[in-house]
Structure 1
């Protein structure tokens, strides 16, 4: 029988140990305050539950969505909040916005509209590596604004793989020809025999059998739609080795790394541009609403789908362009620098040498052939795709025009606060269950006429049940329930008072440091769980030091999406890493630069157009008063320390 060390046994049972040890080690918190300091017993009980959830979320000893259900059980048991109040937080307005948006995304994936958009962009851009990279990044970036980042990456990576296979096949043939020329072999039969050693450089079965067609991606945690926060659930990623016995061309290896990383980066960057692009954005929206309700501030928080896009879309565009340039610098340029006229076999086309130009033209034809084949396989635009595209445009227009921010939108036609961004989301989702996917029977041609009957709808409930990430909805609700319980118990006010000593720190420096710390934390923890835990605390910190809450919450939210360094950081990172072309050190070196650059862009945006757009230099109404009027429905008997250097009576 094999002997195992104590450390190996502990590691094998680490999840069980954490589940048992965490509540026991944290138990002195409620025991002490319930016995020795009964004044703060509710705050202590809430802090105890919050701490357990934080450990479980960070270690993922149980699924993230399961941990999010803790408030339903333990908040009533510990007398922190009633069961009815806790349960009502799990389907708030923000959750329904997420539900409606994801139903539209499920329909897009069902009819492969996202694939048609991606291939359409690739048909337009050039076939040189730098433009191919941009061609891969643009559709990934755009689609990740509206559908799951995971699904977008899983759809794009096989296309990248097929293109890279054609590039490698061309390079292998070029290498073979050069070797024969240098060896003096001109006999075609001899070239064929020697060529066998070169063809092993490619994947022999796939390159011939697939004939340039795109193969499915390796399985990463099962279905790409089953995600929790920013982690892939299910089994671990299956690493697919892309290596062979022959030494691989270093230039081609660098090209592969750059192409795969561009997909992961574009998916993460695109998600920040819209409220529904990534769960932390919705966490921010919900927590901001809770924060303003806490102080009975009925003013518009100005965080709507349209106002967020005005702020975040320029950030996303700038980060995308910088990512494109950064990846070119790392993986597509020569070691001595990116010289326009010194392009070698790093696959930049055009050195002026006639034989190489011919090779490059052949290479471009192969790449175009791969993309054209996939485009032709899509066939003509179907009625379902056309209707779905129209509904998608209508939904985006309704979101953007409901409450643009500086002017009144169509939402002003209704009573204040009666219509939100969830309204058009659910409306369009409902229409997808009604609109036909095929033409009416009475209008079909004789050849197409079948048995009379209604056309199937664009979306059916079985498809929604199968592909909808319900765990994320529960995770969002758990965060809202936790924040509401913290306010009900008074824990959030206690935390705010503890932060009053930070008032002397420069707000801009504080915002940057907080964003940097969170960007590092999300490399190893769920971005949704991180946002759920920290955004309420950051909001209380901002109020305590007299800063507009959005000034600290906005960079906190964006930083949760800047997880570029590790394969476990996000599902897109895990997907591209699973293809075997990347090493962890490659991702770390490229990701550090991306983190620094993106944090700098956020700092610039926050202190320029962000401040102007959200009026961050003007405090909310409830912070302009020296004393916050207590309410019996939100927070009874609550006062806040002096703000803005005012003196409280």
Structure 2
């Protein structure tokens, strides 16, 4: 039968239509989000409503990532002047504040450490020290990863550590040679079960009885069961060893002010919203609060991973009373060989290590809090002419000034890589701009700036005050309960979006809420800042999770089951920290005078 209208195609099926919607999802969000919330500026028309329109649109774009995060962060520079909230020059000034330069300077030092492979040398040295027993090896991996994440990007740390973990696991799990030993020992046990018979198996086979087949079947079953049990243990150990790296990277970044983006957002928002706070959040004060919390979290995370993936067999996982096997020796040799391939420390490595040490010492001693720091002593002024950003930029500039090779007149021996006499020309510096351009995540600078612009716009428009007034009924709830609820909310939210974007959206609101209900803003802002880094449950939540997941050991269910307990551990540790030594450090029992003042 011939069709009358062959040109018309059948209607697309429901699945085809859904597939089409998924393919244009980003375009639909980009088009309909501004339209859906357009009544805010058009119907209500107040400055608060116009600022809320910008914030809601940015929140949707940040959560869905329909635009790059840094491009979404530029929207205030376009929309605030158009709505008459702020002048363009005032908005643009928010994108390169003191905190942004602190971030840039600190990351330049981190790029130099990574460029000279100093982080890998530190990691391998520590692993050689702790050994290759599973429990201690996991502790070594977590300790090294957390320490490195305090100073360099958690993504770079994870990308460097996971191949080392993979190489060690290959040696620890290469135990095929043990299977014949298991078989021979069980055969021997069966053969010696009848002391009066010298060849029981041969006799039974010759008589074609059924008992021989039963014994052989039992042997096969026992060997297969041993193989399955061994394979399951190996798989669990691989999961635990890889998970520990991404968890430690996220935990370690919370310990220092420059370790992760949310910490810098807090620093910048405090300076923006409470300019009279007296630099209550600086490198030394943050480290004093967050480092003990990091140690506590890291210990509990290690114990939790031990319980889930390895158990507490002290002889097997700790090596108590056990002799080193060939697998242990082979795994140790892998680490030692990788360390040997790095060769002796070069002049450049030693220089970068010295500058890094100088940076940390200057950060701690600038304004330690309990005594006058070197900045106050030298400049003899209470004004903050010198900040943590000043120190970071000073060390970053030195990286471009100092040579990467020892001058020939300074070192006659061959201890350092001296410049040969025939190699005339400029000596390479410790860091070059080409390396910085390639490795520095410039998008985070714009992301931080966008957050500061949002906070300033909320303040100028009156949105912050309006939000604070709406939260006045929270006065009847104990502050510790408010902090726990907010930490749970942010820890859930950060699983789906960038931790920097999460902190950027929530911190100004929390500051307004604190002023409204009369509690110290740091009591909720500090715990929520830490919670923004607790993205443990999903592979897409943070780059370290994605790197670990890509190696194929883990399923999404593995990360979700383990990660939800990690989130609970993190929130409990934060609650303990903010209500014990945090109260003493930041004087959280009283409402500070500087919280009454707002930025201008």
Deviations 1:403-426 (A, max 9, x none): 112322112132311111000100
Deviations 1:10-47 (A, max 9, x none): 1111100000000000001111112xxxxxx2111111
Residues 179 and 383 from structure 1, CA distance in 2 versus in 1: closer, same or farther, beyond 3 angstroms? same
SS at match of 1:479: helix
Quick check: which has more Rg, 1 or 2? 2
Residue from 355, 362, 384 that aligns with 1:398: 362
CA distance in 2, matches of 1:349, 1:582: 26
SS at match of 1:433: helix
Residue from 33, 38, 41 that aligns with 2:44: 33
Give the corresponding residue for 2:207.
none
Contact kept, 8 Å, 2:85 with 2:457, in 1: the verdict is yes
Report the CA distance between 1:616 and its aligned residue.
Answer: 1.1
Residue from 493, 513, 524 that aligns with 2:465: 493
2:568 aligned with 1:568, yes or no?
A: no
Give the corresponding residue for 1:82.
87
Residue from 110, 116, 131 that aligns with 1:126: 131
Give the corresponding residue for 1:23.
34
Aligned pairs for 1:523-534 (under 5 A) are 523-534=495-506
Residues 248 and 478 from structure 1, CA distance in 2 versus in 1: closer, same or farther, beyond 3 angstroms? farther
CA distance in 2, matches of 1:266, 1:111: 23
Contact kept, 8 Å, 2:367 with 2:375, in 1: the verdict is yes
Report the CA distance between 1:9 and its aligned residue.
Answer: 1.3
CA distance in 2, matches of 1:615, 1:622: 13
Report the CA distance between 1:147 and its aligned residue.
Answer: 0.3
CA distance in 2, matches of 1:172, 1:583: 25
Report the CA distance between 1:452 and its aligned residue.
Answer: 2.5
Report the CA distance between 1:449 and its aligned residue.
Answer: 3.2
Which one has the bigger helix percentage? 2
CA distance in 2, matches of 1:119, 1:542: 46
2:574 aligned with 1:602, yes or no?
A: yes
Contact kept, 8 Å, 1:564 with 1:591, in 2: the verdict is yes
CA distance in 1, matches of 2:419, 2:473: 78
SS at match of 2:519: coil
2:53 aligned with 1:53, yes or no?
A: no
Give the corresponding residue for 2:217.
none
Residues 42 and 399 from structure 1, CA distance in 2 versus in 1: closer, same or farther, beyond 3 angstroms? same
Residue from 67, 71, 77 that aligns with 1:72: 77
Question: What is the TM-score when the length of structure 1 is the normalising length?
Answer: 0.81
Aligned pairs for 1:239-318 (under 5 A) are 249-293=231-275, 298-318=276-296
Aligned pairs for 1:51-450 (under 5 A) are 51-169=56-174, 171-182=175-186, 249-293=231-275, 298-333=276-311, 338-340=312-314, 343=316, 349=319, 357=323, 360-412=324-376, 413-414=378-379, 415=381, 416-442=383-409, 443=411, 448-450=420-422
Residues 438 and 543 from structure 1, CA distance in 2 versus in 1: closer, same or farther, beyond 3 angstroms? same
Report the CA distance between 1:497 and its aligned residue.
Answer: 1.0
CA distance in 1, matches of 2:423, 2:502: 54
Deviations 1:84-124 (A, max 9, x none): 00000000000000000000011111100000000010111
Contact kept, 8 Å, 1:441 with 1:454, in 2: the verdict is no
Report the CA distance between 1:509 and its aligned residue.
Answer: 0.5
Deviations 1:234-267 (A, max 9, x none): xxxxxxxxxxx99970000000011001101110
CA distance in 2, matches of 1:159, 1:444: 36
CA distance in 1, matches of 2:231, 2:537: 25
Question: What is the TM-score when the length of structure 2 is the normalising length?
Answer: 0.87
Deviations 1:117-141 (A, max 9, x none): 0001011112100011111111111
Report the CA distance between 1:317 and its aligned residue.
Answer: 0.7
CA distance in 2, matches of 1:246, 1:128: 22
How many residue pairs align between the two structures?
544
Contact kept, 8 Å, 1:439 with 1:455, in 2: the verdict is no
CA distance in 1, matches of 2:527, 2:124: 34
Contact kept, 8 Å, 1:564 with 1:595, in 2: the verdict is yes
Aligned pairs for 1:463-612 (under 5 A) are 463-612=435-584
CA distance in 1, matches of 2:364, 2:278: 16
CA distance in 1, matches of 2:390, 2:184: 68
Report the CA distance between 1:448 and its aligned residue.
Answer: 3.9
Report the CA distance between 1:351 and its aligned residue.
Answer: 7.1
Deviations 1:538-560 (A, max 9, x none): 11001100000000101110001
CA distance in 2, matches of 1:407, 1:351: 49
CA distance in 2, matches of 1:474, 1:159: 33
Residues 348 and 18 from structure 1, CA distance in 2 versus in 1: closer, same or farther, beyond 3 angstroms? same
CA distance in 2, matches of 1:440, 1:411: 33
CA distance in 2, matches of 1:349, 1:317: 24
Contact kept, 8 Å, 1:292 with 1:301, in 2: the verdict is no
SS at match of 2:426: coil
